[in-house]
Amino acid sequence: MTHRRRQVQGTIFSTVGVLVFIVMAIITFLWANGLTFDTKARTFEQTSVVSIETKLSDVEIQLNGKTIATKGPFQQRGLQPGRYDLSITKEGYLPYIRVFHLDRGEVGIARDVVLIAKQPLVSTLEPNARFITPSKLSNGLTLQNGELFDGNEFITRFSSEPLQIHRYNSLYLYQLGSNFHVFIPDTNQDFVIYSLATTEYVPINSQPSSYAFVINENGVKKLINLTIPTEVVAEPSQ
């Protein structure tokens, strides 16, 4: 009797284990394919996804005003179609804000997210530091009646014509009067990142790999680091 009972219990446990595995496999499959079950319509529906495909840390990632993560990469799945306002913020940095209008099955991707410092770190270089003056427009850029084109792609429109414009990683760096701006086409954001003492053209030498650029202002060469706030100061050597 005892042996028979153990056999029955073993069969039950094995059956339950198989059923649990099957249910978990189905749930995983549905989740991976963005499917949810509509209890009212009694059908499976395709949902949408917002994906942040950039390594970030110590940030606040919000979707429609709700915090969903503090670092990236990150994906928010199971979203219903509609408008989604994504914001990524960090103390000392300008906010990254982007709007997605998603249909069923669509994925809104925030790729190559770079947070720009509110007050970028400025360092003075040695007078003999190497400096190459580029043309006033990066290769492939054209400015027609205040409209900027990159190849055949329309980028943005200026109210006043900039003195120079440079393609800068996923950004565009330009001088308008006494201010240097960065324009982020993915988010349609425009920020003043450095103010000059003159409204004349000031030569620059961009360093895209480090998100920094050098300006030659009245013979003084200054390195401006867009992703490092002025508050960040190196520890003194011992």
Does one domain contain both 156 and 206? yes
The verdict on residue 162 lying in a domain is: yes
Same domain, 139 and 204: yes
Does residue 94 sit in the same domain as residue 130?
no
Q: Which of 60-69, 197-206, 222-231 has the highest mean pLDDT?
A: 60-69
Question: Are 66 and 124 members of one domain?
Answer: no
Same-domain pairing of 85 and 162: no
Q: What is the pLDDT of residues 18-37, one digit of tens each?
A: 555 554 544 444 444 444 54
Q: Evaluate whether residue 21 is within a structural domain.
A: no
Q: Please tell me whether residues 154 and 198 are part of one structural domain.
A: yes
Pairing relation of β-strands 153-157 and 120-124?
unpaired
pTM of the model: 0.75
**In sequence order, which residues have a C-beta less than 8 Å from that of residue 102 and are 6 or more positions away?**
48, 50, 79, 81, 82, 83, 84, 108
Identify the residue whose tokens are 């960065």: 182
Q: How far apart are CA 97 and CA 103, in angstroms?
A: 20
Residue at a domain's end among 85, 111, 137: 111
Residue 220 within a domain: yes
Asked whether residue 124 falls in the same domain as residue 223, the answer is: yes
Q: Express each pLDDT in 65-123 by its tens digit.
A: 999 999 999 999 989 999 999 999 999 999 999 999 999 889 999 988 989 999 999 99
| 124 and 204 both lie in a single domain | yes
82: domain CATH number? 2.60.40.10
- Please say whether the beta carbons of 134 and 204 come within 8 A: yes
Whether residues 136 and 220 fall in one domain: yes
Residue 36 lies in a domain: no
Q: Average of pLDDT values for 189-195?
A: 94
Whose tokens are 């979203």? That residue is: 79
Domain end: 64, 85, 111, which one?
Answer: 111
Number of folded domains that form the chain: 2
Q: Are residues 129 and 165 in the same domain?
A: yes
Q: Is 31 part of a structural domain of the chain?
A: no
Does residue 199 belong to any structural domain of this protein?
yes
Question: What are the pLDDT digits (tens) for 119-170?
Answer: 999 999 988 887 777 789 999 999 999 999 999 999 999 999 999 999 988 8
Residues 97 and 137 in one domain: no
Structural domain contains residue 25: no
Domain boundary among the residues 111, 140, 160 is at: 111
In a domain? residue 138: yes
Segments forming the whole domain that contains residue 166: 120-229
227 within 8 A of 211, measured Cβ to Cβ: yes
Cβ-Cβ contacts under 8 Å for 180 (sequence gap 6 or more): 173, 174, 192, 193, 194, 195, 196, 204, 215, 224
Q: In what order do the strands lie in the sheet with 171-176?
A: 164-168, 171-176, 179-184, 189-195
